[in-house]
């Protein structure tokens, strides 16, 4: 059977090569020549390599390597990955509706989604997944376990779980899981004068849900003074949804985005199509380094049209458009076919997307290397490096102790223990981590392994190593020991020094357990410095 598949693959390649050889241009000849070389390489591998060569795996590696040389967004998906494609593009899949995480050699439930099969079956965050349909998960990755739990909607999956040291089985009926693209909307500000809408992704009906949220807020409070659209961490999605979201606050017939590529028939101009809901209300859009693609169409076009103030950090810089093309044997390929351009005429695609800082944001370049464009009102904006916010708010980075608490699952495990003995929690909008709760958390950590290294410690160790090489070690060893002792004393106070940050982590984890994702968003708003800055700007 394998040999038959190989013959089919090589025959197809030879056929393509033969067709292209008929072309008289040099490009066609080069394509035909290299396809023939590739087929010969694989043929010789199959005939002579010491071990059997898996044709599906080997060809997939070759395809992936070829596409990786182009851009990060052109990808090939075999039939086995179709559920992942559906989740990525449509925000839906057949499964139980739960996030999972790796902890050591085991996989745990980290968050069941509200009202979905896992939640309805009583599955909780912190449950260890021992087996899926009788197959042990020991040593398996989250991807392995996720694939095992997904399947056709309407079918059953049996999970063996461990909770508080006790094993039990749960049968869950899979469902077509549709993740909410608007997990929360409500009011912010001292007098609740400003509306807030959180949009997580641009999947099907995203614009409808944003419009419905806005209309609901406006009807409830006709005197609302402004609206905040939060696109932070939103990696994008469907372009038509982005256009329709802009249309909520921009009149019909306005150009939002234009795509330009090699194939003229794929070049399109997208205009707003409907009557807007409100063209006057002050609007702020929040972005960060994780805001990409459709998020940049919305924020960039509203900036170009001088319809909104953009607040936060520079966006990711993805101005490439992909199409899904059907392939043989139920596979698909996502291909970059064009770039998109927003109303001022600029393209936000980063010139060099392969070079980014440690947080994954595109590296800032001087304005001298950018091309200047003008907004509708005459303000200067630049292309090539994402969307620059009108009001920049410096990002906050996690402290060393906070990173250690996350990596060692200490906040997660503490909250799992807390939930066992506390049936309820104050409403999300009112809940705060009390002195008593924080003290209890600190006591919980005393017998846990909360070791972590700081940059200062690493520099001191480097100093010691260099001093040894240069024969200064004996002379400065006492000073190095004094520094280490002083640093140790300082680290002992890190739980208090970084209390505000750690309380944010505790509050978020507690709220998601009792009130799901919407509770986590709602409870964090009054502490969110970017949201607070947006309120200040809207007041102006």
**Catalytic residue positions?**
293, 304, 318
How far, CA to CA in Å, does 8 sit from each of 3, 4, 137, 333, 343? 9, 6, 36, 20, 49
As given in the structure block, the two tokens for residue 42 are 């694989």
| Closest C-alpha among 315, 309, 377, 381 to residue 536 | 309
Cβ atoms 142, 180 nearer than 8 A? no
Helices (H), 327-472: 400-407, 410-421, 435-445, 455-469
Residue 367's SS3 state is helix
Instruction: Please calculate the CA angle 346-347-352 and round it to the nearest 5 degrees.
Output: 135
The CA-based dihedral angle spanning residues 222, 250, 194, 204, taken in that order and rounded to the nearest 10 degrees: 100
| Closest C-alpha among 106, 99, 158, 111 to residue 129 | 106
Cβ atoms 64, 76 nearer than 8 A? yes
**CB half-sphere exposure, 207, CA atoms < 13 A:** 20
Cβ atoms 35, 297 nearer than 8 A? no
Distance between CA atoms of residues 151 and 140, nearest Å: 18
Residue with tokens 């999970």: 159
Contacts of 361 (CB under 8 A, 6+ apart): 289, 313, 314, 316
Q: Quick one: DSSP state of residue 100?
A: E
Distance between CA atoms of residues 287 and 266, nearest Å: 29
Distance between CA atoms of residues 214 and 180, nearest Å: 16
Cβ atoms 343, 256 nearer than 8 A? yes
Cβ atoms 116, 176 nearer than 8 A? no
The CA-based dihedral angle spanning residues 406, 517, 133, 1, taken in that order and rounded to the nearest 10 degrees: -90
**What DSSP string runs through 239-306?**
HHHHHHHHTTTS-TT-EEEEEEESSGGG--EEE--S--S-SSS-EEEEE-TT--THHHHHHHHHHHTT
């Amino acid at each position: 059977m394998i040999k038959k598949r190989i013959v089919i693959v090589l025959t197809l390649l030879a056929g393509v090569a033969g067709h292209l050889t008929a072309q008289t241009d040099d490009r066609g000849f080069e394509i035909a020549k290299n396809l023939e070389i590739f087929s010969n390489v694989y043929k010789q591998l199959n005939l002579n390599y010491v071990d059997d060569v898996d044709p599906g795996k080997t060809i997939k590696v070759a395809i992936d390597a070829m596409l990786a040389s182009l851009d990060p967004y052109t990808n090939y998906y075999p039939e086995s990955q179709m559920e992942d494609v559906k989740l990525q593009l449509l925000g839906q899949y057949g499964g139980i509706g739960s996030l999972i995480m790796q902890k050591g050699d085991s996989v745990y439930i980290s968050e069941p989604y509200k009202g979905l099969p896992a939640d309805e079956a009583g599955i909780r965050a912190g449950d260890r997944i021992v087996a899926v349909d009788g197959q042990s998960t020991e040593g398996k990755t989250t991807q392995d376990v996720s694939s095992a739990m997904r399947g056709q909607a309407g079918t059953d999956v049996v999970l063996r779980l461990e909770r508080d040291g006790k094993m039990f089985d749960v049968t869950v009926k899979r469902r077509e899981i549709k993740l909410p693209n608007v997990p929360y909307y409500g009011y912010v500000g001292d007098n609740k004068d400003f509306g807030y809408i959180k949009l997580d992704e641009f999947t099907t009906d995203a614009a409808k849900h944003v419009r419905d949220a806005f209309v609901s807020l406006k009807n409830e409070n006709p005197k609302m003074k402004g609206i905040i659209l939060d696109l932070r961490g939103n990696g994008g999605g469907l372009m038509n949804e982005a256009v329709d979201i802009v249309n909520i606050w921009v009149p019909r017939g306005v150009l939002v985005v234009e795509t330009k590529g090699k194939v003229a028939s794929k070049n399109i101009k997208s205009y707003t199509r409907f009557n807007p809901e409100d063209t006057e209300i002050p609007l702020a859009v929040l972005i960060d380094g994780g805001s990409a693609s459709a998020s940049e169409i919305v924020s960039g076009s509203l900036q170009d049209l001088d319809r909104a103030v953009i607040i936060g950090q520079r966006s990711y810089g993805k101005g490439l458009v992909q199409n899904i093309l059907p392939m043989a044997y139920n596979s698909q390929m996502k291909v970059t076919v064009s770039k998109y351009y927003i109303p001022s005429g600029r393209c936000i695609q980063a010139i060099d997307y392969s070079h980014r800082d440690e947080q994954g944001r595109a590296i800032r370049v001087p304005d001298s290397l950018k091309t200047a464009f003008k907004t509708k009102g005459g303000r200067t904006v630049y292309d090539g490096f994402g969307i620059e916010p009108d009001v920049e708010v410096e990002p906050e980075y996690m402290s060393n102790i906070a990173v250690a608490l996350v990596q060692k699952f200490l906040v997660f495990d503490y909250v799992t223990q807390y939930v066992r003995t506390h049936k309820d929690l104050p409403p999300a909008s009112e809940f705060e981590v009390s002195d008593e709760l924080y003290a209890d958390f600190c006591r919980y950590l005393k017998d846990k392994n909360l070791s972590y290294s700081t940059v200062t410690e690493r520099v001191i160790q480097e100093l010691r190593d260099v001093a040894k090489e240069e024969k200064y070690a004996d002379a400065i060893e006492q000073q190095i020991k004094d520094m280490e002792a002083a640093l140790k004393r300082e680290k002992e106070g890190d739980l208090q020094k970084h209390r505000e940050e750690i309380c944010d982590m505790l509050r978020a984890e507690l709220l998601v357990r009792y009130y799901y994702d919407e509770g986590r968003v709602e409870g964090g708003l009054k502490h969110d410095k970017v949201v607070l800055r947006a309120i200040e700007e809207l007041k102006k």
